[in-house]
């Protein structure tokens, strides 16, 4: 039987010491516990830490974009070497997967990535994914590796997504771990601390927002810390950390999962209540229901649909250019997006 997919993201805060160096004890523990989990899952590791591994070799590391890219160029092979050192005793081979945003926004490239991972899994090889910082376009890069891990999890139909961080989970106002979250709403997002780690780009707000997306596609998410004994195995079993429960799985095709999670979203529009109601009934979006174009887009691009209160209602693939949605009178049956190309969120 085909094994379910597990995506594990290790953040910079989880992988580094207080001095900003790679904490090899964490990677040793990850290897030991992943060796146990590999019999149950096809695993993807999404790992930060390349900048931390490489910056010591730059005599004048400043934290600028150029110096971060240079540190990542040095650090990516070093980081994979550290992983390989500790996974080798468990007879687990690793493969490096440096990803860019267009690998997910282009459907053909995404399918090639998926096929490559499947080939690796057939040979019991675990892909270690990270952003290709050296060449990533600053405007089109991933917001952080939380996003990369989520895109892989949703696009590949993972059974579980795990975020390893410095915090033991989502903390309430008394600094106690919230063991379970049924729905990630404004109240839950209000629990997230605003600060980020010194080493990382994301934070708890990032994790909760991407956990929410994964949950909407039926994927449970665990936020946990490797500081716990057997943390990885126990977190996968829901015994430690914060478990964000999956919502009822939507009947969404693989293609539409890609539209919702992997595509570069180019534009934003606001629709009236009538159009919002029609979308909820799985109808197409007509031009007459569009009240405002917030960000333009062209035919074939993916755009976000907001309701009258500017809450995100759906994403869709456009049939027409947004310039046809000007303030003038719109043709009665002009279709902005077909029902089959609209994914409710």
Q: Where are the domains of the chain?
A: 5-244, 264-344
Backbone angles phi, psi at 314, to 5 degrees: -165, 170
Sign of CA dihedral 212, 133, 127, 50: negative
At 300 the pLDDT is 80
Q: Name the residue among 227, 229, 224, 220 with its Cα closest to residue 241.
A: 224
With H, G, I as helix, E, B as strand and everything else as coil, classify residue 17. Answer: coil
Helix 145-156 to helix 107-122 angle (10° resolution) is 80
The pLDDT tens digits along the chain (345 residues) read 589 999 999 998 899 888 888 999 999 999 999 999 999 999 999 998 898 899 989 988 888 888 988 998 999 999 999 999 999 999 999 999 998 877 777 778 888 999 999 999 999 999 999 987 676 655 445 657 888 899 899 889 899 999 999 899 999 989 999 999 999 888 888 888 654 444 444 478 888 988 988 898 889 999 999 998 999 999 999 999 999 999 876 666 777 776 766 555 668 899 999 999 999 998 999 999 999 999 888 888 788 899 988 888 888 888 999 988 876 677 778 999 999 888 887
Q: DSSP for 108-119?
A: HHHHHHHHHHHH
Token digits of residue 115: 């096929």
* Pair of tokens at residue 38: 């590999």
Q: Which of 241, 189, 240 is nearest to 210 (CA)?
A: 189
> Tell me, what's the pLDDT at 139?
45
Structure tokens at 316: 């869709």
Instruction: Select the CATH number that applies to the domain covering 264-344 from these four: 1.20.1560.10, 2.30.130.10, 3.40.630.10, 3.40.50.12780.
Output: 2.30.130.10
Q: Does residue 144 contact residue 156 with C-beta atoms inside 8 Å?
A: no
The values of phi and psi at residue 130, to 5°, are: -155, 160
Q: Which helix (H) or strand (E) holds 204?
A: helix 204-216
Could you tell me which residues are beta bridge partners of residue 243?
Answer: 180, 222
Report how far apart the first and last C-alpha atoms of the chain are (Å, whole number).
31
- Same CATH topology for 5-244 and 264-344: the answer is no
Q: Three-class SS of residue 188?
A: helix
DSSP H helices in the chain: 12-15, 24-37, 50-54, 65-87, 102-105, 107-122, 145-156, 186-189, 204-216, 231-236, 254-261, 273-280
Q: Which residue do the tokens 């569009």 mark?
A: 290
Output the pTM of the full model.
0.79
Q: How many residues does the chain have?
A: 345
CATH class of segment(s) 5-244? alpha beta
Rounded to 5 degrees, φ, ψ at 290 are -85, 120
pLDDT, residue 262, reads 59
């Amino acid at each position: 039987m085909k094994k379910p997919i597990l995506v594990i993201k290790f953040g910079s805060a989880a992988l580094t010491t207080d001095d900003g160096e790679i904490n090899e004890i964490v990677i040793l523990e990850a290897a030991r516990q992943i060796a146990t989990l590999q019999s149950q899952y096809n695993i993807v590791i999404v790992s930060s830490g390349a900048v931390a591994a490489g910056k010591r070799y730059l005599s004048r590391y400043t934290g600028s974009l150029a110096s971060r890219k240079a540190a990542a160029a040095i650090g990516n092979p070093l980081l994979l070497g550290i992983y390989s050192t500790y996974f080798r005793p468990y007879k687990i081979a690793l493969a490096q997967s440096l990803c860019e945003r267009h690998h997910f926004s282009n459907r053909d490239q995404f399918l090639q990535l998926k096929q490559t991972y499947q080939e690796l899994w057939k040979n019991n090889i675990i892909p270690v994914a990270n952003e290709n910082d050296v060449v990533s376009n600053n405007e089109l890069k991933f917001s952080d590796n939380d996003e990369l891990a989520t895109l892989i999890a949703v696009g590949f139909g993972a059974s579980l997504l795990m975020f390893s961080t410095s915090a033991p989970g989502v903390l309430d106002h008394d600094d106690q771990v919230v063991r379970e979250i049924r729905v990630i709403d404004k109240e839950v997002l209000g629990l997230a601390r605003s600060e980020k780690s010194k080493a990382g780009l994301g934070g708890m707000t990032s994790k909760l927002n991407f956990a929410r997306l994964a949950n909407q596609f039926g994927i449970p998410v665990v936020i946990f810390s490797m500081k716990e004994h057997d943390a990885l195995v126990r977190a996968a079993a829901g015994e430690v950390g914060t478990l964000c429960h999956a919502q009822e799985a939507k009947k969404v095709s693989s293609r539409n999962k890609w539209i919702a999670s992997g595509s570069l979203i180019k534009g934003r529009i606001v629709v009236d209540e009538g159009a919002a109601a029609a979308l909820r009934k799985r109808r197409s979006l007509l031009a007459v229901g569009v009240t405002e174009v917030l960000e333009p887009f062209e035919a074939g691009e993916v755009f976000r649909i907001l309701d009258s209160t500017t809450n995100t209602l759906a994403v869709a693939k456009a049939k027409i250019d947004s310039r046809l949605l000007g303030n003038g009178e719109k043709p009665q049956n002009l279709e902005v997006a077909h029902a089959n190309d609209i994914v409710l969120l």
